Amino acid sequence: MPSPYDTENLSLGTTITSVATCLRHCINSVKYKTIRNGVTKMAKRLQGLIAGIIIGLVIAGSVAVAATRTIEVSYNNIKLYVDGNLISPKDATGKIVEPFVYEGTTYLPVRALGEALGKNVDWDGTTASVYIGARPGSVEYLGEGLKPYSKSGGYYEYPDKGSFKIAGNVYYRGAVARNNNEHALYNTDAKYTQLSGIYGPTDTMASSGNGTISFYGDDRLIKTLEIKYGDLPKDFTVDLQGVLQLKIEFSRAYLAIADVQIKG
């Protein structure tokens, strides 16, 4: 279903719908004069007007119907490149949306640009808000939204394996090392800012020796958590800003991380 923040979708709440409807009536009531190259000048201008108003309303987040005016925009076959790759901007229905220039500013469709940058794009009609990436306060758990692309055989993920215990507390999300020197690699792609959760020895850990859980960002050690038998669960936080690849490494068997949240 088309989203209202696509530049050529005309359903962005009652006010925007009214503006777009009015403009469509204007188009239908005007007799156009076709210029030599077969392009209808008036239609092009009014299309630009509609697109400009809709984008302006989305970005501003407020509507001032009385301030609407006719504008002229420039369509110059503008090309959009992301990291060297040519992108064809499209709306939610798959229709190509052409960028345009108005008074020296280039206007791009927010959905196409956000998705080209690897971000989810979402619309909240209640608050008239566009979200690129995670919403404020949204929660994503490691192993659910973000899964490892490579891991050792004894790196057990939960809830895939059921549940585990730390100091008698039952956890259903997280990871446990079943052997010494277990690890996993995650493609974070610089999309996340923070990792946080609980760590400790599982109740099946042997009664001797200590261990560590280490976090690496792009092969650089970020943080090491030290654990010994009998420890109670503790909180941890890891800074992931700018990290493309996350590596989690357990030095010995039956160490665990639980309820690990990853924030965008």
Determine the average pLDDT of the residues in 131-135: 74
44-76 pLDDT per residue, tens: 454 554 445 444 444 444 444 456 788 899 988
Place of tokens 């992301």: 82
Amino acid 114: pLDDT: 82
Amino acid 57: pLDDT: 44
Q: Which domains does the chain have, with CATH numbers?
A: 14-132 (no CATH), 140-263 (2.60.120.1060)
Average predicted confidence (pLDDT) for the chain: 78
For the chain, how big is the Rg over CA atoms in Å? 26
Amino acid 89: pLDDT: 86
Apex CA 8: angle with CA 26 and CA 97, to 5°? Answer: 125
Indicate whether 92 pLDDT > 80: no
Which residues fall within 8 angstroms of residue 105, CB to CB, at 6 or more apart?
Answer: none
Interhelix angle for 41-60 vs 14-29, to 10°? 170
| SS3 call for 213 | strand
Which residues fall within 8 angstroms of residue 207, CB to CB, at 6 or more apart?
Answer: 229, 230
**Whole-prediction pTM value?**
0.51
- Give the largest CA-CA distance in the chain: 88
229-239 pLDDT per residue, tens: 889 999 999 99
| SS3 call for 239 | strand
Please state, in angstroms and rounded to a whole number, the distance separating the CA atoms of residues 159 and 151.
Answer: 16
Beta-bridged to residue 246, according to DSSP, are 186, 217
Confidence of residue 194 (pLDDT cuts 50, 70, 90): very high
Beta-bridged to residue 250, according to DSSP, are 182, 213
Determine the average pLDDT of the residues in 206-222: 91
